[in-house]
Structure 1
Amino acid sequence: MSAKHPIIAVTGSSGAGTSTVQKSFEWIFRRELINAAFVAGDAFHRYDREGMRRAISKSERAGEPPLSHFGPAGNLFNELEATFKRYGESGTGRRRWYLHDETEASQWKQPQGTFTPWEDIPADTDCMLYEGLHGGIVTDTIDLARYVDLLIGVVPIINLEWVQKVLRDTSIRGYSIDAVQDTILRRMPDYVHYIVPQFSRTHINFQRVPLVDTSNPFIARGVPTLDESMVVIRFRDPKNTDFPYLLTMLSGSWMSRPNTLVVPGGKMDLAIQVIMTPLVLRLVERRRALL
């Protein structure tokens, strides 16, 4: 952790909704005039799209453990940790971008499914926001969580997570339903060992729970709306949280445990704003006071 160069990480599985939560942080930064550096987790995958296909095929022919974007074999964990460490020490580091679709790729005049060149994180930023799969990853050799000042988990219940992934990957990214199912099955060991443990290290978790039937996520025709959901918000350390204020601000919310707030799904963005704004401001004000 670093008082001069704070790091905020939003972490969650593929299809969990981390990019939506990132947009809420972008609103906070814009409103509070905070100059943030952005780092995308998928830019630290080891292979581009075609390279990943070849690597998976090779590992399957060799009878090796399944290869996925969730585990060490599919990622540059050392480089990601180096970015966190360097930013915490000096407010800089290295990043790149993964080009998911034709819209993103056209801006760089590169094929989709490829990486942009590495670049330096801009100097003199107030904080760094990471969004991706591994913001709190800890293995035998690396520990990203120790560098993070505010670690946020985005964890919809797993059937909803799969609904969101299936519909995104088939309708937006052009994959077949069979291909998406194969991906889910192949990455399950890495999901259990590398993704799930992060949510015990987070400071706050946002877990969306649908109020409609998602028992077969592979035949869903649409993602349950926010108004068809509740959001369970768990605080690791509730002592400094003003729950009476949050209950007043978030109409229809209640406490299910001493560290857990439940809010209507339609209030999720508002909940992120009212919970995160003072935490972000505290980090930035501490940095500015030191400078």
Structure 2
Amino acid sequence: MSRKHPIIAVTGSSGAGTSTVTETFQQIFRREGITSAIVPGDSFHRYNRAEMKAVHEEAVSQGRLPPSHFGPEANDFPSLEKLFAQYGEDGTGQTRTYVHDIEEEAIYGTPPGTFTPWRQIEEGTDLLYYEGLHGAVHTEEVDVARHVDLCIGVVPIINLEWIQKIHRDRSSRGYSAEAVTDMILRRMDDYVHYICPQFNNTHVNFQRVPMVDTSNPFTARSIPTADESMTVIRFANPRGIDFPYLSSMIAGSFMSRANSIVVPGGKTDLAMQLILTPMIWRLIDKSRKAKGLPGLTYKSAF
């Protein structure tokens, strides 16, 4: 962790909804005038699309379980930790972009399924913002989580996560339901060992729970809407969290445990704004003071 150069990480599985949380953070950054260095998690995949396909086919031909993007074989965890450590030290570091489609090719000038060259993070950013699969990963070789000042877990219950992934990959990536199901099964071992343990390292978890039947996610015809869901918000350390204030501001919310509040799904964005904005203020305030600059002037909700 770093006082001068804070790091925020949003971590969650494929289809969990991390991109939606990123939209909320971007709203806060714009409103508060905060400049962030954005780091997509897939920048630290080990292989490009063609290489990953070749590695997959080789593993299958040898009767081995192919590597998945959930695990260390297909990701460069050491480089991710190096970036976090360097940014926390001096506000610099290197990142790159994975180009997904022809629209992004027009922006970055690199073919889909490949990476842009490594580039230096621009100077003068207020914080580093990571969104991806491994913002809180901790293995015997690396400890990415220890460098993160504010780590947010996005964890819908697994049936909902699978429904969201199946619908996304079919509609936007052209995969068949069978192909997505096969991918889910192949990733399960890495999911258990490298995705789930991260949520013990997060500061706040947002877990969406549908209030409709999702018993068979592989045949679900639609994704449950926000109004058909509740969101469980769990704080690793609830000290200083004003739960009565949150309950008064968020209609229909209630505490389920001493460290958890449950809010209607349609109020999740409001809850994030109320909870995360003061946390970001504190990070920036501490950063400015550590750099010898005047602190922020604000009235915190907590």
TM class, shorter-chain normalised? over 0.9
**Cα shift at 1:176:** 1.3
Structure 2 residue matching 1:252: 3-state secondary structure: coil
**Cα shift at 1:109:** 3.1
Q: How far, CA to CA, are the matches of 1:207 and 1:279 in structure 2?
A: 19
Q: Which residue of 1 aligns with 2:171?
A: 171
Q: How far, CA to CA, are the matches of 2:64 and 2:139 in structure 1?
A: 20
Q: How far, CA to CA, are the matches of 1:261 and 1:30 in structure 2?
A: 27
96-105 vs 82-91, greater mean Cα deviation: 96-105
Q: Which residue of 2 aligns with 1:104?
A: 104
Q: Deviations over 1:44-64 (max 9, x none)?
A: 101112211111111122233
**Cα shift at 1:265:** 0.3
Kindly tell me the number of residue pairs found equivalent between the two proteins.
291
Q: How far, CA to CA, are the matches of 2:233 and 2:52 in structure 1?
A: 35
Letter in 2 for 1:220: A
Query: Which runs of 5 or more structure 1 residues have no equivalent in the other structure?
Result: none
**Cα shift at 1:151:** 0.7
Q: Which residue of 2 aligns with 1:256?
A: 256
Q: Deviations over 1:125-174 (max 9, x none)?
A: 11111000000001111000110001100000001000110011011011
Q: Which residue of 2 aligns with 1:241?
A: 241
Q: Deviations over 1:17-38 (max 9, x none)?
A: 0011011000000000011111
**Cα shift at 1:112:** 1.8
Q: How far, CA to CA, are the matches of 1:48 and 1:164 in structure 2?
A: 24
Q: How far, CA to CA, are the matches of 2:204 and 2:142 in structure 1?
A: 22
Q: Which residue of 1 aligns with 2:282?
A: 282
Moved over 6 A (4+): none
Letter in 1 for 2:173: R
15-24 vs 52-61, greater mean Cα deviation: 52-61
Q: Deviations over 1:67-125 (max 9, x none)?
A: 10000100011111111111000101111111222322222233222211111111111
Equivalent residues of 2:43, 2:95 under 8 A apart? yes
**Cα shift at 1:182:** 1.1
Q: How far, CA to CA, are the matches of 2:250 and 2:99 in structure 1?
A: 37
Alignment of 1:126-275 (within 5 A): 126-275=126-275
Structure 2 residue matching 1:128: 3-state secondary structure: strand
Q: How far, CA to CA, are the matches of 2:72 and 2:289 in structure 1?
A: 38
Q: How far, CA to CA, are the matches of 1:20 and 1:2 in structure 2?
A: 26
1:19 maps to 2:34: no
Equivalent residues of 1:101, 1:173 under 8 A apart? no
Q: How far, CA to CA, are the matches of 2:90 and 2:133 in structure 1?
A: 24
Letter in 2 for 1:31: R
Q: How far, CA to CA, are the matches of 2:160 and 2:105 in structure 1?
A: 29
Q: Which residue of 1 aligns with 2:87?
A: 87
Structure 2 residue matching 1:39: 3-state secondary structure: strand
Equivalent residues of 1:5, 1:89 under 8 A apart? yes
Equivalent residues of 2:55, 2:66 under 8 A apart? no
Q: Identity over aligned residues, as a percent?
A: 60
